[in-house]
Structure 1
Amino acid sequence: MKAQKGHGAKLTRTPSSLLRSPTLRSSVNILSTVDEAAAADVDDSDERKPHHLRGRGRPHLPCRPLLPALLPLIFFLFLFVVLVHLRDDTTLLSNLLLAAVVVSLAYIAARQSRFLTLRCLGVQRGESVQWFIGDGDRESKKRKINGKMVREGVEFYSNGDFYEGEFHKGRCNGSGVYNFFDKGRYEGDWVDGKYDGYGIENWSRGSRYRGQYRQGLRHGFGLYRFYSGDSYAGEWFSGQSHGVGMQTCSDGSCYAGEFKCGVKHGLGYYQFRNGDRYSGEYFGDKIHGFGVYNFANGHCYEGSWHEGKKQGFGAYTFHNGDIRSGGWDSGILMSPLPPSNQAIHQALRAARKAAENAILVPRVDEQVNKAVTSANRAATAARVAAIKAVQNRMDGKFCDTNV
């Protein structure tokens, strides 16, 4: 529910509040049992009402109703007479009819007693009794609890999501927990209604991210573990892996190097699940440019690549030392040339240089670990704020979103 802006705000029933707010549901129960509230001693101080619920105003009561107080006595006297009559030898049908009349009269007496009590209190039939949260000062715009503004609140949304945590100027700000309806949750820092700072995202399928955010997107350093077992640890930009990082797959393969817009791009080193290794250039998530590919069986190719296939000049060396070099097309040697050829020599030098630079790409493990630690702390603070928000809601305290 949205935090109330003033003490004069009315407690109203809405479909969302009835479905998802135990606190509001209890408030509705109070409204529905207006007879008990109205029959309470009118001289009691407002300060003793549970959850600080106080009436907007009370009419002057010149006298207390006498008839409602006498009706129970009349009812019991009448019931005594009926029981005495039942002891006589009357027919069963007469007894049943008389019992039905007694029940009807008892119901009418109870209804009349409540109606007369409400009438004496100035409440007409069909009118509703409205309650307000606060000390009754309609002019006050801020509510203080122990000298501090209540900043933690709970807010529900039409799609089933809800937020528990701190607010500022009507938006999620500070620390808080956002629960997605049947999808997952976010715990961490907020700025102007968006993830910003550090936090943790958990999804229902098992994926999890811990790290930095900016303007609602993963940005900075962080660790993402997919439900499939894959993971990425490194730099993020506008919600995508971008910069330097390491991608580890559940099949045992891994890549360490540069990323761009979520894919491998630049220099990198890839360890394949079958034992093969590649060091060199990538473009658009594919081996592209110059690099060195070492096969698990001892073979090696050094040279030019195009979209994952040997393309251009390069040399293929077998484990026994034999060499095949020349011009390649889609992985097939089309123009054999000796290794001493100038074009082959230049291609080998470029491939080895790219492989060396790929291995020297700086690691960001330390930055990622620091971001994960900060995310864990932010998530803990968000859970604390959520607990305070729920407690305020249970106590009938609503945060002032204007502070």
Structure 2
Amino acid sequence: MPVFKCPPKSEPLWKGWDQKAQKNGLRHQVYAVNGDHYVGEWKDNTKHGKGTQVWKKNGAIYEGDWKFGKRDGYGTLSLPEKGSRKYQRVYSGWWKEDKKSGYGVQFFGPKEYYEGEWCSNQRCGWGRMYYSNGDIYEGQWWKDKPDGEGMLRLKNGNRYEGFWERGMKNGQGRFFYLDHGQLFEGFWVDDVAKCGTMIDFGRDEAPEPTRFPIPEVKLLDPDGVLKEALAMFQKTEKEGD
């Protein structure tokens, strides 16, 4: 009796091509249609693991961790310097779902940078900002602005310690005028001191002290005033007699 063998079913060609196109593991170079390219690890056809992405439009380079196609973990973002082949580091720190989240350092210029906490690409939490003019702010941030308790130290050494809101001094605070040897303590509203007291503070060591010290205010003893008034009254009566 003859034996018939059924030929194996052949799959459509597109299935084989699709399987070959699926990216998993380490790939040396993968180009996108717009010219961007990526070198690194893949999982289920998405960037996952360690990898380097280069964007053709602005030349930016990201080196670090990826998770399901997004920057997630620790990584560094750099931009090319104008008129040079060198790259300038812009941000180094933690990412989550393609946004700066966690602790990181952001460079805004050669002499201006921030180090501290981030949340969804904004400075949030504790952080220290070094400004190009020499000022330094250290304290709490919210929505990319100083907000909460913090200290601003100016280039000349003067400093403000107190509360902030929306990037301005708001609430109770103290301003040390160390160049003049004075201290103001009071309440602030939108960077304007509304009420408070000014006293001499380290006036003898100040580089530019005020011409005259602030006079000390003393309250008279009520009992002493009454005794003095009574004595004067009695003296007047005796002279009248």
TM-score by length of 2: 0.69
Counting only pairs closer than 5 Å after superposition, residues 67-146 of structure 1 correspond to structure 2 as: 141=19
Note closer, same or farther for the CA distance 1:285–1:216 as it changes in structure 2 (3 Å cut): same
CA contact (8 A) 2:46 2:69 kept: yes
Residue in 1 that maps onto 2:214: 322
Cα displacement (A) at 1:201: 0.7
| Larger radius of gyration between Structure 1 and Structure 2 | 1
Q: 1:140 to 1:261 in 2, by over 3 A?
A: closer
Give the Å deviation of 1:185. 0.8
Aligned partners of 2:98 and 2:137: how far apart in 1?
27
> Are 1:280 and 2:162 counterparts?
yes
In structure 2, the CA distance between the partners of 1:176 and 1:140, relative to structure 1 (3 Å rule), is closer
Distance in 1, Cα, partners of 2:215 & 2:171: 21
Q: What residue in structure 2 maps to residue 258 of structure 1?
A: 140
**Residue 154 to residue 140, structure 1, CA distance change in 2 (3 Å):** closer
| CA–CA separation in structure 2 for the residues paired with 1:293 and 1:172 | 51
CA distance in 2, matches of 1:273, 1:139: 64
Q: Quick one: which of 149, 153, 156 aligns to 1:267? A: 149
Query: Residue 200 of structure 1: CA displacement?
Result: 0.5
Aligned length: 186
Shift of 1:285: 0.6
Structure 1 position 139, deviation (Å): 9.1
**Superposed CA RMSD:** 2.6
The normalised TM-score by structure 1 is 0.42
Structure 2 letter corresponding to 1:322? I
Checking the alignment, whether the CA contact within 8 Å between 2:27 and 2:40 is kept in structure 1 is: yes
Residue 202 of structure 1: aligned partner = 78
Counterpart of 1:304? Answer: 187
1:175 paired residue number: 50
Which structure ranks higher in relative contact order (CA pairs < 8 Å, sequence separation ≥ 6)? 1
Secondary structure, aligned partner of 1:265? strand
The residue aligned with 2:3 is none
2:121 matches 1:239: yes
Task: Tell me which residue corresponds to 2:236.
Answer: none
Cα deviation digits, residues 328-357 of structure 1 (max 9, x gap): xxxxxxxxxx798xxxxxxxxxxxxxxxxx
Match of 2:174 in 1: 292
Cα deviations by residue, 1:8-41 (Å, 9 ceiling, x for unpaired): 78xxxxxxxxxxxxxxxxxxxxxxxxxxxxxxxx
Larger proportion of strand: 2
What SS does the aligned partner of 2:132 have?
Answer: coil
From 249, 252, 255, the equivalent of 2:131 is: 249
- Taking structure 1 as reference, are residues 293 and 214 closer, same or farther at Cα in structure 2, changes over 3 Å only? same
The 1-side partners of 2:218 and 2:105 are apart by 45
1:140 CA drift (Å): 10
Q: CA deviation at 1:184?
A: 1.5
Kept in 1, the 8 Å contact 2:113–2:129? The answer is yes
Match in the other structure for 2:207: none
Q: d(CA) in 1 for partners of 2:65 and 2:120? A: 17
Structure 2 counterpart of 1:166: 41
Superposition deviation, residue 216 in structure 1: 0.5
Q: 2:25, 2:171 → 1: CA distance? A: 60
Shift of 1:210: 1.0
1:152 maps to 27
The one-letter code sitting in structure 1 at the alignment partner of 2:189 is H
Q: How many angstroms apart in 1 are the aligned matches of 2:34 and 2:119?
A: 28
Change beyond 3 A, Cα 1:271–1:208: same
Task: Indicate if the aligned counterparts of 1:316 and 1:323 stay in contact, CA closer than 8 A.
Answer: no
CA distance in 2, matches of 1:139, 1:221: 43
Work out the CA distance in 1 between the residues paired with 2:38 and 2:96. Answer: 19
3-state SS in 1 of match to 2:137: strand
Kept in 1, the 8 Å contact 2:25–2:43? The answer is no
Deviation, 1:161, is 2.1
- The amino acid across from 1:235 in the alignment is E
Query: How far is 1:159 from its partner?
Result: 3.5
1:274 counterpart SS class: coil
Instruction: Give the letter aligned to residue 301 of structure 1.
Output: F
Find the aligned partners of 1:339 and 1:289 in 2 and give their Cα distance: 28
TM superposition shift of 1:207: 4.7
Structure 2 residue identity aligned to 1:222 = G
Asked whether the 8 Å contact 2:25–2:42 carries over to 1, the reply is: no
Closer, same or farther in 2 for the Cα pair 1:139/1:259, shift >3 Å? closer
Structure number having the greater helix percentage: 1
CA distance in 1, matches of 2:159, 2:18: 71
Amino acid at match of 2:55: F
Structure 2 residues not aligned, in runs of 5+ = 1-12, 82-87, 204-211, 220-241
The residue aligned with 1:350 is none
